Structure 1
Amino acid sequence: MTERIVVVGAALFDGDHLLAARRSAPPALAGRWELPGGKVERGETPEAALTRELQEELGVDAEPMTRVPGEWPLKPPYVLQVWTARLLPGSPTPKPLQDHDELRWLTQDELWDVNWLDQDVEAIHALTNL
């Protein structure tokens, strides 16, 4: 069996607004938008990884809520899984600390105003079907 490495993405909501993060690195992805998150480390649950990644990348305290059905292939051996998440009360405002240079809170009507990474497009479609 080939190794699979899970990358978790957060569909982070503040009320009815979804947070989108614009990549600043690597160069091939720079300027495209994604759901923030990152790799699940060995021995870590996806939910714990999501909490850690949001702290590292955005400086926020967030709580994973529900896994979005499905998973989306990235560059092998990586796969993307997405969870809905919410900011915890008292959490700082998100800031682009690592890998991102801009953040936007999008309403339902603005979801497609940004140039999402290909795999995130599929995840956003799954999310809107929830």
Structure 2
Amino acid sequence: MTEPIVVVGAALLDADHLLAARRSAPPELAGRWELPGGKVEPGETPQAALARELREELGVEVEVGERIPGEWPLRSPYVLQVWTAKLFPASPDPKPLQDHDDLRWLTREHLWDVPWLDQDVEAVREVEGRL
């Protein structure tokens, strides 16, 4: 049996807001919202991968926090793990540089105003209690 490949997602928090990113590609995911992140490369820790992915995708520098309990299956052999993160004070504001065409900071009362990707729904429910 193949070892799962970990995909890390960021519960990027700013006070009582969570950052959501709208996918622009691939076509089957375009227009749906997700927690930004990406694949952990060989020899990389999940935390280092998350910081790298957010730098590449959003142009930000973050401090990775704690892992959100749970692991969610994606298309085999991938699994999603979510970590909290916050912007470093000197970091620029996030911009949709890769794979996304829009970003929104959502409060708890507006968390479900966007159509989340199916695989992110359970993770967002876990994060909801932290807002």
Q: Report the TM-score range of the alignment, normalised by the length of the smaller protein.
A: over 0.9
Aligned to 1:10: 10
Which residue of the partner structure matches residue 110 of structure 1? Answer: 110
Q: Distance in 1 between matches of 2:110 and 2:129?
A: 16
| CA deviation vs aligned residue, 1:72-95 (integer Å, no higher than 9, x gap) | 000000000000100001100000
Which residue does the alignment assign to 2:30?
30
Residue ranges of structure 1 left out of the alignment (5+ in a row) = none
Distance in 2 (CA, whole Å) between partners of 1:9 and 1:33 is 12
Distance 1:122 1:18 in 2: 15
1:46 aligns to 2:17 (yes or no) = no
Deviations 1:50-69 (A, max 9, x none): 00000000000001101000
Spell out, residue by residue over 1:21-59, the C-alpha distance to the aligned partner (whole angstroms, 9 max, x if none). Answer: 000000000000000000000000000000000000000
Deviation at 1:129, TM superposition (A): 4.1
Distance 1:30 1:79 in 2: 20
Residues paired across the two proteins, number: 130
Structure 2 unaligned segments of length 5 or more: list them: none
Backbone CA RMSD of aligned residues: 0.8
Identity of aligned residues (%): 75
Q: Give the TM-score normalised by the residue count of structure 2.
A: 0.97
TM-score (norm: length of structure 1): 0.98
